[in-house]
Amino acid sequence: MTKANIPAVGIDLGTTYSVVARLDERGQPVTLVNAEGDRLTPSVVLLDGDDVVVGKEAMKAMSSEADRVAECAKRDMGHRAYHRVIGGKQYPPEVIQAWILNKLRSDAVQQIGPFEQAVITVPAYFDEVRRKATQDAGYLAGCEVLDIINEPTAAAVAFGFQHGFLNAAGSADRPRHVLVYDLGGGTFDVTVMEIRGSEFLALATDGDVALGGYDWDQRLLNMAADAFQREHSLDLRTNAVAVGKLWRECEDAKRTLSARPKAPIVAEYQGKVVRLEISREQFEETTQDLLDRTRFTCVQALRAASLEWSDLDHVLLVGGSTRMPMVRAMLQKISGKVPDASMAADEAVAHGAALQAGLILAKSDGRPATFSIRNVNSHSLGVVGTDPQTKRRRNGIVIPRNTPLPVSAKRQFKTAKHDQRSILVQIVEGESPSADDCTSIGRCTVADLPSELPAKSPIDVIFNYQADGRLKVRVQVPQMDRLLETEIVRENGLSKEHLDAWRRHISGQKATEYR
Ligand code: ADP
Ligand code: MG
């Protein structure tokens, strides 16, 4: 197969739904349907004995076999294990995500033939640790991850493509400022972008990795479970299967409320039943604080981009939860613009990823680039130091958030004593001055320093944030003129050996726990 025949595939690995898109012969992004004939695949995994079932069938099992079903694993990326025990076992979230990727890829292969390479998207607000975990999930699923790109950026690229900004005529047009509001199932992301013809520049990004449609569902679920408890003095929330069933009811009711003023919810447990009717007003009232959190985050992102609402040309709606009328009304009120819903809310991200895959493949083929992307980092990067007075662990910020990527920054450390042979550098991400409130990326040991270095010799540590938001660390000993690559030892995440063992295991599609 010649390079030009390799399909350009983009995967939106969503918290609740995933989508795969490719570029067709004319370079247009198209969504691929899965084996069930759907464009969206629920990001849900059922472990049925040795079988791994992903998607719609796994989602159905949530109301009967909830204890063997893993959903929203994306929210746990960056943690050691998925937050619940599944079928009596604990799994790393990367592994659950890899099972989903495996299904997405094998369904796509049925239509477009074998491929390994793909661009995978992540929320802009994902930190370095979660990005690494996403790349690892790709590796586990036997994919070659061409790039990790931010979901709002991908959506903006798809928007630019759709509106003709990417052709010669469009690129001569004036710069546009776009706010991408992406409210999905489990994450909220906002990015302020400047589109200068075919250049997509992220100016600022903000978000919440634990806020999405799921939280709206949860509010309805609590309303219904409270009503059930008042009536029958029983808390159905203690039973995973009852919760799984009610959750499906509530999610359904939420969708109905986007189209109609009222929706029924039926709560059932131990043969007892409660029927409720929820109005849109009630729903909006009980979730108002969630919406307010997204509004506040938008205001912060705009401020970080040094823009006013009136500077915006478009407010782009991305993610299934932007179908809720309350979201549109809030954005219209605050921005004074009708939010743009011209793109398929759930497919735009995958389309942008496919465009990026096409760009990377074209470049590797020596063909010219049709557009370019510049991102910013979503979290400040720092090193841990100790406050000499309080002895507290402090976060010394090396690269502040919203810095255009790629970027390098140097930090000088000094050896404490004569003939010191190693230095330990602890790396964190976050805005808090206290290192303990930040996410630990890991530590780097600068070993093999030359012998006989006098005390207080300078050692330069160079942090390089790549365009995909991944970090590389190098060390320079000025006296030696030597540049060393150093490995970051990660506290969370899988080691290379574990990754390889899981990769072999996942390719066999067996759920049996690997030890
Ligand atoms: P993610 O990328 O996080 O997986 P999606 O963008 O696919 O999420 O959006 C999924 C979320 O959108 C779910 O919480 C789902 O309930 C919600 N959703 C989809 N359609 C509607 C609708 N018509 N009204 C309200 N919420 C919806
Ligand atoms: Mg999404």
pLDDT at 491 over 90: no
Give CA–CA dist 267/278, Å, rounded.
13
Give CA–CA dist 61/412, Å, rounded.
55
Q: Regarding predicted confidence, which is higher, 507 or 154?
A: 154
pLDDT at 468 over 90: no
pLDDT at 359 over 50: yes
Query: Residue 320: nearest ligand to its CA?
Result: 1
Query: Residue 258: nearest ligand to its CA?
Result: 1
Percent of the chain whose pLDDT exceeds 90: 68
CATH 3.30.420.40 holds for 3-166+344-369+499-507: yes
Q: What is the mean predicted confidence (pLDDT) over 271-280?
A: 97
pLDDT at 388 over 90: no
pTM reported for the whole predicted model: 0.90
Q: Whose CA is nearest to atom 6 of ligand 1?
A: 319
User: Which residues sit opposite 409 in a β-bridge?
Assistant: 463
pLDDT of residue 335: 96
Q: What is the mean predicted confidence (pLDDT) over 175-198?
A: 93
Instruction: Write out residues with Cβ below 6 Å of ligand 1.
Output: 14-17, 184-187, 212-214, 251, 254-255, 258, 319-321, 323-324, 346
Q: Among 13, 17, 322, which residue has the most ligand 1 atoms within 8 Å of its CB, making it the best to mutate? A: 17
Spacing of C-alpha 299 from chain mean position = 21
pLDDT of residue 303: 97
* Nearest atom, ligand 1, residue 16 CA: 4
Q: Which CATH architecture has domain 381-480?
A: Sandwich (2.60)
pLDDT tens digit sequence for 38-73: 999 999 999 988 899 999 999 999 888 888 999 999
pLDDT at 4 over 90: no
Which stretches does DSSP call E strand in 38-185? 41-42, 44-48, 51-54, 69-71, 117-122, 144-150, 176-183
Q: What is the mean predicted confidence (pLDDT) over 236-250?
A: 92
308-321 in b/e form (b: 16+ CB < 10 A) is eeeebebbbbbbbb
Q: Whose CA is nearest to atom 11 of ligand 1?
A: 185
- Least confident range from 427-431, 480-484, 492-496: namely 480-484
pLDDT of residue 509: 54
pLDDT of residue 169: 58
pLDDT tens digit sequence for 278-288: 999 999 999 99
Helix (H, G, I), strand (E, B) or coil at 143: coil
Query: Residue 260: nearest ligand to its CA?
Result: 1
pLDDT of residue 321: 96
pLDDT at 513 over 60: no
Q: What is the mean predicted confidence (pLDDT) over 151-180?
A: 82
| CATH class (in words) of the domain with range 213-286 | alpha beta
* Nearest atom, ligand 1, residue 259 CA: 23
Does residue 264 have a cis bond before it (omega within 30 degrees)?
no
The average confidence (pLDDT) of the chain is 90
Query: Residue 328: nearest ligand to its CA?
Result: 1
Give CA–CA dist 232/352, Å, rounded.
50
pLDDT category at 497 given cuts 50, 70, 90 is confident
pLDDT tens digit sequence for 20-32: 999 999 999 999 9
Q: Whose CA is nearest to atom 22 of ligand 1?
A: 255
DSSP, residue by residue, 170-239: HHTSPPEEEEEEEE-SS-EEEEEEEEETTEEEEEEEEEETT-SHHHHHHHHHHHHHHHHHHHHS--GGG-
Q: What share of the chain is helix, strand, coil (3-state, %, to 5)?
A: 35, 30, 35
Q: Whose CA is nearest to atom 13 of ligand 1?
A: 185
Cβ contacts of 172 within 8 Å, gap of 6 or more = 197
Residue whose token pair is 């003129």:
481
Beta strands 188-196 and 176-183 are antiparallel
Q: Regarding predicted confidence, which is higher, 333 or 415?
A: 333
pLDDT at 385 over 90: no
pLDDT tens digit sequence for 146-158: 999 999 999 999 9
Short-list 148, 47, 126, 137, CA closest to 95: 137
* Nearest atom, ligand 1, residue 258 CA: 24
Burial of 440 (0-12, 13-18, 19+ CB in 10 A): middle
* Nearest atom, ligand 1, residue 213 CA: 14
* DSSP state letter for 398: E
Domain boundaries, the chain: 3-166+344-369+499-507, 213-286, 381-480
Percent of the chain whose pLDDT exceeds 70: 96
pLDDT tens digit sequence for 392-409: 899 999 999 999 999 999
> In the structure encoding, which two tokens stand for residue 228, read together?
């059930």
pLDDT tens digit sequence for 70-107: 999 999 999 989 998 998 899 999 999 999 999 999 99
pLDDT of residue 279: 98
pLDDT at 127 over 80: yes
User: 226 CA to middle of ligand 1, Å?
Assistant: 24
Separate counts of helices (H) and strands (E) for the chain:
11, 24
pLDDT of residue 261: 97
